[in-house]
Amino acid sequence: MTLKEQCARRRSVRKYSDKEVSDQLLNSLFEAAGRTQTMGNLQLYSVVVTRSEEMKKRLSPLHFCQPMVTEAPVVLTVCADFHRTVAWCECRKAEPGYSNFLSFVNAAIDALLFTQTFCNLAEEQGLGLCYLGTTVYQPEQIIETLRLPRLVMPLATLSLGWPAEEPALSDRLPVASFVHQETYHDYSASDIDRFYRAKEALPENKHFVEINAKETLAQIFTDIRYTKADNEAMSEGFLKALRRQGFLDEI
């Protein structure tokens, strides 16, 4: 199967069989994903592998107790990492200047591109995974749990294992909704109707709106799933963690 065919049938997998995910397989995927391009070929990322029951239990509440964290054989936390590069500089009479926001952005880019090649590779092997966006919600507690030093920020968590379910494919917006030619062209109300019609018409989405006594699907997102109050509180938490890790000294 080509990657293109693999993408067409791609779904997040949240239930895993008991079959082991070997270190050998994992390392071969890390090696292949490590071929992804990075800033100055510095590979500004690191991965913490969680297999122990104890560490999974400690991570679980930091991901709002989503069951995949304790049920998956392997949990991976991918971090933006300038720490190792700075350690190298310090061993080599070089004065690093990476305690700043741009260096965080550069390392975050490296970490996320690496993460996604890893996801594509893992799925090619038949592994199932779920990307946990919760990593950036309470980063300070993840930093403490995984003992991340200065200049390391957790960004992505993957729960990983051999699939024990095959969920339905989820919908996507049409390509025309996110691609712009030459310059960005803003959306008219009729563009929005056209691009979001299919999503709004899905029975499961209509059901969400109904059981939550809302008027529109968009209100499910703004009033329940991703609220202004939560986002503002978590923005503060994330910025505080960035300061603590040394990426925001100048603000």
- Site residues for a second copy, 44-63, by CB under 8 A, read 45-52, 55
Instruction: Report the residue from 62, 72, 136, 160 that binds a second copy according to the rule CB under 8 A.
Output: 136
Residue type, 8: A
Largest CA distance in the chain: 64
Instruction: Report the residue from 95, 126, 203, 211 that binds a second copy according to the rule CB under 8 A.
Output: 95
Residue 211 binds to a second copy (criterion: CB under 8 A): no
Report the run of H or E that residue 85 belongs to, with start and end: helix 83-91
The footprint of a second copy on residues 142-181 (CB under 8 A) is: 146-149, 152, 155-156, 170-173, 175, 177-181
Total residue length of the chain: 251
Residue 89 binds to a second copy (criterion: CB under 8 A): yes
As beta bridge partners, residue 131 has: 158
In which residue are the tokens 């990322």 written? 45
For residues 163 and 180, give the distance between their C-alpha atoms in angstroms, rounded to a whole number. 37
The footprint of a second copy on residues 103-132 (CB under 8 A) is: 103, 105-106, 108-109, 112-113, 115-117, 119-121, 124, 131
The footprint of a second copy on residues 7-36 (CB under 8 A) is: 7-8, 10, 12, 27-36
Q: Count CB neighbours of 179 within 10 A.
A: 7
Residue 141 binds to a second copy (criterion: CB under 8 A): no
Q: Count CB neighbours of 80 within 10 A.
A: 27
Smallest separation (angstroms) from a second copy to the CB of 41? 6
